[in-house]
Amino acid sequence: MTAKKKQTRSELLRQKRDRRPRKNPSKSARRSSKSSGGSLPPILVRGGVAAAASPSRRRGKNNRRRFDIALNSQGAEMRLPSIPSFGVGWRLLSALLIGALGFAIYSLWYSPMFTIDKIDVSGMVRLTNAEINSVADVIGKSIILVNPAKLETEMQKAFPELVNISVETEVPNIVKISFVERQPVLAWQQDEQTYWVDENGYAYAPHGEGGPSVTVQGSELLSSSPVMGDTLGDIEEEDQTLPVELVNAILAVSHEVPENTPMVYDNQHGIGWTDPRGWQVYFGSTDEDISIKLKVYEKIFRRLKKAGIRPALISVEHLHAPYYRLER
């Protein structure tokens, strides 16, 4: 029996390696092989040389759009000049917007189309267009210069007898002013000044023609009533007022006043007048039971006339306690 030949170290390592199981190629290797081997196919152009598509060329910023037109001959076509494709950036849009706004502002400021040539006024009774225009001062100006809130304030200061003042502007050149004029029901004379008073007791300076027919020679009765501003406690100005009850009493008694006889107001006795026959008559300061007071006065006058008494004063201030005096 022959002895086995001793194997070398290299042979042992080679045998050990051959006996080791073989592993499948990894997924990453397969992916790399696919990516490396799967290159884009060449793009063939009729009548030209094959060329590979380059991704870098397709992603270029200044890409051009190519147009090919087929001709009647088979396989023949004509290539038109390339047209560069570009997009509108935000800077260009901003510049166009600023330019448009600037043109609009210039047109509003200087264009005759936006210049005010008249004012539409509604609610006038005693006021005139000339008086309104002099206070508003907007004729010949651009519509964008009109401040409706400021104009309402100026109108109220210039004409205290106005209420519900409203100023509106309409493009291109329309200004509308509407208001309501207070209607005076009596004239109040105090401290050598005359005031017109409306049915709510609001007193203001006379304005225009056609004043009230009832006149009262009064004393220091007009009270100051503060007009509140937009904020509570913000007093803009003070209005002169009369009690509404007194206004109603004056209007009720005015029908019994002798012709061409002015009415008077006394702080102690109220409203009345000087009778042409020589005495004073008073009816108080309110309109309560005023019709009954007038009837009582007539009865007192007839009784005194029948008795031959010539009084100096007849007072019906208190309905249940009328009296007369022979001396003032």
Whole-number pLDDT of residue 235: 34
Per-residue pLDDT at 28 exceeds 60: no
Whole-number pLDDT of residue 188: 93
Mean pLDDT of 236-264: 85
Per-residue pLDDT at 315 exceeds 60: yes
Per-residue pLDDT at 236 exceeds 60: no
pLDDT per residue as tens digits for the range 189-216: 988 889 999 999 999 999 888 789 899 9
CA 50 remoteness from chain centre:
73
CA distance 322 to 300: 9
Contact 173, 114 (CB under 8 A): yes
Q: pLDDT averaged over the chain?
A: 78
Whole-number pLDDT of residue 169: 92
Structural domain 113-181, CATH architecture: Roll (3.10)
Which tokens is 236 given? Answer: 């803009």
Which tokens is 45 given? Answer: 């152009």
- Letter for the amino acid at 141? K
Q: Considering only residues 7 and 75, tell me which one the structure prediction assigns the higher pLDDT.
A: 7
pLDDT bracket for residue 228 (50, 70, 90) = very low
Give the end-to-end CA distance of the chain in Å, rounded to a whole number.
179
Per-residue pLDDT at 97 exceeds 80: yes
What percent of the chain shows pLDDT beyond 90?
37
Q: Considering only residues 218 and 148, tell me which one the structure prediction assigns the higher pLDDT.
A: 148
Whole-number pLDDT of residue 51: 44
pLDDT per residue as tens digits for the range 39-55: 555 544 555 444 444 44
Pick from 136, 131, 200: nearest CA to 169 = 136
> For residue 99, what are the CA distances in angstroms to 87, 90, 93, 105?
20, 14, 10, 10
Whole-number pLDDT of residue 286: 87
pLDDT per residue as tens digits for the range 51-93: 444 444 455 455 556 666 666 666 666 666 666 665 667 888 8
Q: Which residues of the chain form CATH 3.10.20.310?
A: 113-181
Per-residue pLDDT at 157 exceeds 90: yes
CA distance 125 to 143: 27
